[in-house]
Structure 1
Amino acid sequence: MKAHKYHTQSDCEVIAHLYEEIGEEVVEKLDGMFSFVLVDLRDKSFIAARDPLGITPLYLGWGNDGSVWFASEMKALKDDCERFESFPPGHMYSSKQGGLRRYYNPPWFNESIPAEPYDPLILRHAFEKSVIKRLMTDVPFGVLLSGGLDSSLVAAVAQRHLAGSTAAKQWGNKLHSFCVGLEGSPDLKAGREVADYIGTVHKEFHFTVQEGLDAISDVIYHIETYDVTTIRASTPMFLMSRKIKALGVKMVLSGEGSDEIFGGYLYFHKAPNKEEFHKETCRKLKALHLYDCLRANKSTSAWGLEARVPFLDRDFVNLAMSIDPAEKMINKKEGKIEKWIIRKAFDDEENPYLPKHILYRQKEQFSDGVGYSWIDGLKDHAASQVSDQMLANAKHIYPHNTPGTKEGYYYRMIFERCFPQESARLTVPGGPSVACSTAAAIAWDKAWANNLDPSGRAATGVHDSAYEGGEVESSAVSHKEGGEDGLANSKVGDKVQEAIAVA
Structure 2
Amino acid sequence: MCGVLAVLNACGKRADLRALALRQAELLKHRGPDSYGVNIQKTIKGDQPLFSTDKSLCLCANGEIYNYKKLSSLYLSTVNFATSSDCEVIVHLYEKFGNDFVKYLDGMFSFVISDSRTGEYYAARDPIGITSFYYGYDKEGKMWFASELKALQDVCVKISEFPPGCYYSSVKGVFVPYFKPLWHSENFLPEPQELHLEVIREALTAAVKKRLMTSVPFGVLLWVCTVFFFLRSFVCVPGVLLSGGLDSSLIASIVSRFFKNDTAKLHTFSVGFPNSPDVKAAKVVADFLGTSHHSFQFSLQEGLEAVPAVIYHLESYDVTTVRASVPMFLMSQRIKTSGFKMVLSGEGSDEIFAGYLYFHKAPSKEELHKETVRKVKALHAYDCLRANKATLAWGLEARVPFLDTQFLEVCMSLDPAHKMVNPQEVDSEGRKKIEKYILRKAFDCPEQPYLPEEILWRQKEQFSDGVGYGWIDLLKEFAEKAITDRMLADAKLRFPFNTPLTKEAYYYRSEFERHFPEPQTAELVPGGPTVACSTSAAVEWDAVIYILSLTATRG
With normalisation by structure 2, the TM-score equals 0.78
**Which residue of the other structure, out of 507, 512, 515, is the alignment partner of 1:410?**
507
1:296 equivalent to 2:372? Answer: no
Q: Calculate percent identity across the aligned residue pairs.
A: 59
- 8 Å CA contact 2:129–2:165 kept in 1: the answer is yes
1:104 equivalent to 2:190? Answer: no
Alpha-carbon distance in structure 1 between the residues aligned to 2:279 and 2:260:
26
Alpha-carbon distance in structure 2 between the residues aligned to 1:17 and 1:341:
41
> Could you list the per-position Cα deviations for residues 230-264 of structure 1 after superposition, in whole angstroms to 9, with x for gaps in the alignment?
10000010000010001110000000000000000
- 8 Å CA contact 1:266–1:435 kept in 2: the answer is no
- Would the alpha carbon gap of residues 448 and 75 (structure 1) be closer, same or farther in structure 2, given more than 3 Å must change? farther
Q: Determine helix, strand or coil for the equivalent of 2:270.
A: strand
The letter of the residue matching 1:119 is H
Look up the match of 2:67. none
How far is the alpha carbon of 1:443 from its aligned partner? 1.4
1:85 equivalent to 2:160? Answer: yes
1:332 equivalent to 2:423? Answer: yes
Look up the match of 2:207. 130
> Which of 21-30 and 302-311 deviates more?
21-30
**Which ranges in structure 2 are unaligned for 5 or more consecutive residues?**
1-74, 216-235, 426-431, 547-555
- 8 Å CA contact 1:145–1:177 kept in 2: the answer is yes
Alpha-carbon distance in structure 1 between the residues aligned to 2:254 and 2:545:
37
**Which residue of the other structure, out of 342, 366, 385, is the alignment partner of 2:463?**
366
- Would the alpha carbon gap of residues 428 and 133 (structure 1) be closer, same or farther in structure 2, given more than 3 Å must change? same
1:380 equivalent to 2:477? Answer: yes
**Which residue of the other structure, out of 504, 522, 529, is the alignment partner of 1:425?**
522
Alpha-carbon distance in structure 2 between the residues aligned to 1:90 and 1:104:
5
Look up the match of 1:113. 189
Q: Determine helix, strand or coil for the equivalent of 2:265.
A: coil
- 8 Å CA contact 1:163–1:173 kept in 2: the answer is no
The letter of the residue matching 1:44 is G
The letter of the residue matching 2:139 is N
Look up the match of 2:233. none
How far is the alpha carbon of 1:10 from its aligned partner? 2.0
Alpha-carbon distance in structure 2 between the residues aligned to 1:302 and 1:381:
24
Q: Determine helix, strand or coil for the equivalent of 2:124.
A: strand
Q: Determine helix, strand or coil for the equivalent of 1:48.
A: strand
How far is the alpha carbon of 1:66 from its aligned partner? 1.5
- 8 Å CA contact 2:264–2:291 kept in 1: the answer is no
Give the aligned CA root-mean-square deviation in angstroms.
Answer: 1.4
Look up the match of 2:76. 2
Q: Determine helix, strand or coil for the equivalent of 2:496.
A: coil
Q: Determine helix, strand or coil for the equivalent of 2:499.
A: coil
Q: Determine helix, strand or coil for the equivalent of 1:445.
A: helix
Report matched runs for 1:106-185 at 5 Å.
106-111=181-186, 112-115=188-191, 116-138=193-215, 139-163=236-260, 174-185=265-276
Structure whose CA Rg is larger: 2
How far is the alpha carbon of 1:448 from its aligned partner? 8.9
Look up the match of 1:36. 111
- 8 Å CA contact 2:320–2:532 kept in 1: the answer is no
Report matched runs for 1:268-307 at 5 Å.
268-307=359-398
- 8 Å CA contact 2:264–2:290 kept in 1: the answer is no
Q: Determine helix, strand or coil for the equivalent of 1:332.
A: strand
- 8 Å CA contact 1:143–1:252 kept in 2: the answer is yes
Look up the match of 1:203. 294
Q: Determine helix, strand or coil for the equivalent of 2:98.
A: helix
> Could you list the per-position Cα deviations for residues 390-422 of structure 1 after superposition, in whole angstroms to 9, with x for gaps in the alignment?
111111111110000000000000000110112
> Which of 135-144 and 216-225 deviates more?
135-144
Larger RCO (alpha carbons 8 Å, 6+ apart): 1
How far is the alpha carbon of 1:13 from its aligned partner? 1.0
> Could you list the per-position Cα deviations for residues 254-306 of structure 1 after superposition, in whole angstroms to 9, with x for gaps in the alignment?
00000000000000001011000000001111111000000000000010000
Look up the match of 1:493. none
- 8 Å CA contact 1:434–1:448 kept in 2: the answer is no
How far is the alpha carbon of 1:65 from its aligned partner? 1.2
Alpha-carbon distance in structure 2 between the residues aligned to 1:415 and 1:2:
46
**Which residue of the other structure, out of 514, 535, 538, is the alignment partner of 1:441?**
538
Alpha-carbon distance in structure 2 between the residues aligned to 1:212 and 1:85:
30
> Could you list the per-position Cα deviations for residues 125-180 of structure 1 after superposition, in whole angstroms to 9, with x for gaps in the alignment?
0000000000111222200001000000000001112359xxx8xxx862100000
- 8 Å CA contact 1:108–1:322 kept in 2: the answer is yes
- 8 Å CA contact 1:38–1:48 kept in 2: the answer is yes
The letter of the residue matching 2:190 is P
Report matched runs for 1:301-320 at 5 Å.
301-320=392-411
Look up the match of 1:492. none
The total of aligned residue pairs comes to 443
Q: Determine helix, strand or coil for the equivalent of 1:203.
A: strand
Alpha-carbon distance in structure 2 between the residues aligned to 1:308 and 1:192:
22
